[in-house]
Amino acid sequence: MPTSAPLVSAPAATLVGRRPAVGADRLIADLVPPPRFDQVRFSSYVPNPAEHSQAVARDRLEAFAATVGAPQKKGGGLFKKKAAAPSAGGVYLDGGFGVGKTHLLASLWHEAPAPREKKAYGTFVEYTSLVGALGFATAVERLADFALVCIDEFELDDPGDTVLVSTLLTRLSDRGVKLAATSNTLPDKLGEGRFAAADFLREIQALSSRFDVIRVDGPDYRHRDLPTPPAPVAEDAVRRTVDERAAATLDTFDDLAEELAAVHPSRYGALIDGVSAVGVTGVRPLDDQNVALRLVVLIDRLYDRKVPVVASGTPLGELFTPELLRGGYRKKYLRAVSRITALARDGVALAEAEAEMEAEAEAHADSVAVPAAL
């Protein structure tokens, strides 16, 4: 359920018009699991009983966590051969979206026996943004001091960015940094929940021998035993809901899309700093890939921070046109739909709670007015 916030009965603020400034130090400091995963641990990961690989993945990753910060073994002898890259230098969680890979990755970060300031956690996009802000050499130097670097949602659909991050990880691995990564694949690739390990290992090339692949099978847990995506909220209900909630925002869909074009994706997290709920009116299907990809990044940041979304217009399950879903970024769009659906459920709960309170207030006013009329 969404977190509570005081009622304010005032017009909501907007995301449009914000221009957050994000420096390099904040980009480094922000490399921690997002609020949604603050409290996750291996013990709180609940494997699907029908998917044995999930429990196995948890146990293998927990064993890997114990190696973080441990001194590397060194061979002796005057004529010893050059040491091979350690097979346990990195782990890759291979599975479809919604099987708990991020939960496991965040648990690794939390439970690895190294100080917080020696562990980094971020999405693929956050690492590319970091390199863009600091420059490649400086990013390597800043991260080489870490014991563990976790990369969630490693992306394989942009060759330039893939080579960039692969090279970054190679440099870090050479410096003894432990690595852990996940990526998402289409649920219909080789069947529901099957995988991109071969693609991942091919794209990271020389680094691939240093990764152990851990498979995580299963359907998207966000839709396990849950109802179908909620219907859109009426526009007047969207407005009432966010107006009554402290630190909520309200924007039209088109205005928000235009605003995202003016803010670098690395700043989308800062864009929603302190926001308790996001109201959006006039949602419509997107057929522009640039707009759609920016919205995907925003949805990821909202999901990370557990920010409810209250939306009117087109059902969120139809946010991306069939043409986009047939393209090369299909996996991103499906993940975004899965996540925005979860946030929309929280948004509907907010709207229903506000409607109930309004009805109770009206009933109370009526009960007080009746004696006066008599």
66-70 LR contacts (CB < 8 Å, sep 24+): 66/113, 67/178, 68/112, 68/113, 68/114, 68/119, 68/147, 68/148, 68/178, 69/112, 69/113, 69/114, 69/118, 69/147, 69/148
Return the ∠ at Cα 260 (arms to 255 and 265), rounded to 5°. 165
> What pLDDT does residue 355 have?
76
Task: Report the range of poorest mean pLDDT among 137-141, 152-156, 223-227, 264-268.
Answer: 223-227
Enter the pTM of the model: 0.74
Indicate whether 152 pLDDT > 80. Answer: yes
Q: What are the residue boundaries of the structural domains of the chain, listed by start?
A: 49-70+85-218, 235-361
Q: Which two tokens stand for residue 168?
A: 């970054």
DSSP characters over 302-347: HHHTT--EEEEES-GGGSB-HHHHTSTTHHHHHHHHHHHHHHHHHH
Identify the three-state secondary structure at position 283: strand
Strand ordering across the sheet containing 248-252:
248-252, 277-283, 309-313
> What pLDDT does residue 76 have?
42
**How far apart, in whole angstroms, are the C-alpha atoms of residue 178 and residue 65?**
10
> What pLDDT does residue 294 have?
93
Q: Which two tokens stand for residue 314?
A: 């087109």
CB 307, CB 272: distance < 8 Å: yes
Nearest to 73 by CA among 63, 87, 59, 60: 87
Task: Report the range of poorest mean pLDDT among 135-139, 206-210, 296-300.
Answer: 206-210
**How far apart, in whole angstroms, are the C-alpha atoms of residue 305 and residue 324?**
26
Average pLDDT for 38-50: 93
Task: Report the range of poorest mean pLDDT among 45-54, 161-170, 286-295.
Answer: 161-170
- CATH code that applies to domain 49-70+85-218: 3.40.50.300
The string of pLDDT tens digits covering residues 47-92 is: 989 999 999 999 999 999 999 987 655 444 433 333 333 345 899 8
Indicate whether 175 pLDDT > 50. Answer: yes
Q: Cβ of 275: how many Cβ atoms within 10 Å? A: 18
CB 283, CB 256: distance < 8 Å: no
Class assignment of domain 235-361?
alpha beta
Q: Which two tokens stand for residue 304?
A: 């990370």
Q: Which two tokens stand for residue 72?
A: 């590397």
